[in-house]
Chain A
Amino acid sequence: MLVTAEPVTREPTTGEPVIEVSGLHVRAGASHILRGIDLTVRGGEVVALLGANGSGKSTLVKTLVGVNPPSAGTVRVLGGSLPGSAGASVGSTRTNRSAVPWERVGYVPQRVGARSGVPSTAEEVVASGLLHGRRLRLPRGWRSEVRAALEQVDLADRAHDALHVLSGGQQQRVYIARALVRRPELLILDEPVAGVDRPSQEAFAATMRSLVDDGLTVLVVLHELGELTPLVTRAVVLRHGRVVHDGAPPAARGDHDAVGHLHVHPHDDEEQRRAPLAELEVQP
């Protein structure tokens, strides 16, 4: 697909199923978090997962990437299946999970504060995205791959800065680069723009646009569609652990995100530096 300045109406794609979830239940202790989720995401789709806090969005995403074990139901990611039964032991979880080609999946977890007791650079954090189940050591030429991923999020010049000195938005972009460095076919993001200022959101949307145009499939947890509105092909809304809407993205509330809204920024020079953003900003 060509990158054009025209607003593209993204028609529903009918690619191969990339994520197939059926009858998924997830329990954590006494609480029943997901109550029978059915969801299919096909190649090339950009699916937004919406819902209030506590509706199960993050749990669903964590189950898809193998962090939370499903209690019942089946989950298939890129043709490989997660174990469907409850009480699967650690060992069997691992052998079954190896059926999913994790090296083709990029995951951006929800941002939490500083996790690490030892400072690490953006380059080191992004490099960890090159590892997967069958590759426990960094491959030859990892530095150039890391640099390319940091360039995608416009942070190549901060490669050797410690993560903790970067701003929240920049840290988030580092974690996105960590997911992109393995050149995934499927990108799963959990609230990538929560607490991120608008310029960073716009930069993020521009990055996502070029990746989607290259055929990336995206499942993204969001609170509001925001800058991603033009990209999203389908919205799935969760409420109390069930899918209550699966179809066209809901209309945005308020006029801020509405079509035809023109952003006026005083930073003209900076806007020009971020040239690709113009495509997103002006919507006739």
Chain B
Amino acid sequence: MIDMLTDPFMQRALLAALLVGVSAPVVGTYLVQRRLALLGDGIGHVALTGVALGWLVGAAMGLREDDVLAVPGAVVAAVAGSVLIEVVRRRGRTSGDLALAIMFYGGIAGGVLLIGLAGGTSGNLMQYLFGSISTVSGTDLVLTVVLSAVVLSVGIGLRAALFSVSHDEEFATASGLPVWALNIAVAVVAALTVTVAMRVVGLLLVSALMIVPVAVAQQLTHAFTRTMLTASVVGVVVCVTGLTITYWQNVSPGATIVVLAIAAYVVAVLARPLLTRRSPATDPHPDIPDDVEVATATGPGEKEVCA
């Protein structure tokens, strides 16, 4: 245990996992609320093109480490992709899921194509697709800290306004809220989260870390803020636990984390009947008078004139 905590690689990895575990579910809560749970996947695929693009630019500039621009490339591509999908959603010409599907295909195809042009192989993309948290560098960590700070300050600081827009866009518009700016804020923050989580769980599993903790939290609470809070706790626990397991067992950290999250979901589903109060067998709405009198009712004058 002490070994693990003094190993500088592991220290960086743990810090990255912690930050991702906190921030990904915060953004995921908004995505689930807007029924855009798959948006993270779409952004992840586009980010792959960004990784390859960064690689291509790095190779063209003759940089010594040709993947040094991969993460910045992913940030740019993910932000551009998420803003684009928000524009498409607003125009309403193409349905959201169709636009997402096109992003999926374009992102993967573009990534594989560009990495070939950069002189790499699709094998070079594997560490981005499935994560490589054990190789988190000092620069990666700084980027992760900065991006997580942005994600958390927007996601938590503007919680009330983002809730309003995600819950009922029509009402938010009628309140004079800057709906367009807030929608873009959610999209950009989702894109940043994807790139932050890329190193930890990989682009293919990024969305799981945003969505599954929210699914777990929903089993345990029915309030929005509490869902967000619970999801973050779940995210941190599965990320840190998963990473710790991979310190001793040679398995993929990203896959371990996601499997743990899904296991937590299954446990939560099974435990739910034990946790929730049993609803009373009697009238669930005692304050609402019955509208229709049924034949078994007794006493005079039960005829309802206005039913």
Q: A residues within 8 Å of B by Cβ? A: 62, 65-67, 90, 94, 97-98, 100, 102-103, 105, 107, 109, 115-121, 124-125, 127-134, 136-138, 160-162, 164-165, 167, 169-170, 178, 188, 197-200, 256, 263-267, 270
Complex Cα–Cα for A118 and B30 (A): 8
* Contact B160–A136 (Cβ < 8 Å): yes
Kindly state whether residue B113 has any CB partner on chain A within 8 Å: no
* Contact B291–A197 (Cβ < 8 Å): yes
Task: Give the A-B contact count at a CB cut-off of 8 A.
Answer: 138
**Neighbour of A118 across the interface among B29, B172, B173, CB < 8 A:** B29
Given A118-B29, A121-B224, A263-B305, A169:B288 Cβ within 8 A: yes
Residues of B within 8 A of A256 (CB): 306
* Contact B227–A119 (Cβ < 8 Å): yes
Kindly state whether residue B175 has any CB partner on chain A within 8 Å: yes
CB distance from A153 to the nearest CB of B (A): 12
Given A107-B171, A128-B164, A121:B289 Cβ within 8 A: no
Kindly state whether residue B302 has any CB partner on chain A within 8 Å: yes
Which of B177, B293, B303 has the largest count of A CB atoms less than 10 A from its CB?
A: B177
- Nearest opposing residue in chain A for B214, CB measure: A118
Kindly state whether residue B118 has any CB partner on chain A within 8 Å: no
- Nearest opposing residue in chain B for A201, CB measure: B306
Given A66-B173, A117-B37, A120-B223, A131:B299 Cβ within 8 A: no
Given A65-B173, A128-B167, A160-B223, A117:B32 Cβ within 8 A: yes
CB distance from B294 to the nearest CB of A (A): 13
* Contact A138–B176 (Cβ < 8 Å): no
Given A107-B171, A117-B35, A198-B306, A100:B176 Cβ within 8 A: yes
Complex Cα–Cα for A117 and B34 (A): 6
- Nearest opposing residue in chain A for B158, CB measure: A136
**B:257-297 near A, CB below 8 Å:** 285, 288-289, 291, 293
16 residue pairs bridging A and B, Cβ less than 8 Å apart: A66-B176, A90-B180, A105-B174, A116-B166, A117-B32, A118-B224, A118-B227, A119-B224, A120-B222, A128-B164, A131-B160, A131-B161, A136-B161, A167-B288, A265-B304, A266-B301
Residues of B within 8 A of A188 (CB): 174
B interface bracket (residues with beta carbon within 8 Å of A): 35 or more
CB distance from A60 to the nearest CB of B (A): 14
* Contact A162–B176 (Cβ < 8 Å): no
Residues of A within 8 A of B3 (CB): none
* Contact B163–A124 (Cβ < 8 Å): yes
Kindly state whether residue B218 has any CB partner on chain A within 8 Å: yes
Which of A97, A124, A128, A133 has the largest count of B CB atoms less than 10 A from its CB?
A: A128
Given A105-B174, A256-B306, A266:B223 Cβ within 8 A: no
CB distance from A63 to the nearest CB of B (A): 11
Complex Cα–Cα for A214 and B217 (A): 43
Residues of B within 8 A of A100 (CB): 176
Residues of B within 8 A of A161 (CB): 222
Kindly state whether residue B119 has any CB partner on chain A within 8 Å: no
- Nearest opposing residue in chain B for A162, CB measure: B222
**B:153-197 near A, CB below 8 Å:** 157-158, 160-161, 163-164, 166-168, 170-178, 180
- Nearest opposing residue in chain B for A154, CB measure: B287
Complex Cα–Cα for A109 and B225 (A): 24
Given A162-B222, A264-B305, A266-B299, A129:B288 Cβ within 8 A: no
Kindly state whether residue B33 has any CB partner on chain A within 8 Å: yes
**Neighbour of A120 across the interface among B163, B180, B285, B306, CB < 8 A:** B163
Residues of A within 8 A of B299 (CB): 266
* Contact B167–A116 (Cβ < 8 Å): yes
* Contact B293–A94 (Cβ < 8 Å): no
* Contact B168–A115 (Cβ < 8 Å): yes
**Neighbour of A266 across the interface among B33, B37, B178, B302, CB < 8 A:** B302
Which of B163, B166, B172 has the largest count of A CB atoms less than 10 A from its CB?
A: B163
CB distance from B128 to the nearest CB of A (A): 29
* Contact B157–A137 (Cβ < 8 Å): yes
* Contact B168–A109 (Cβ < 8 Å): yes
CB distance from B176 to the nearest CB of A (A): 3
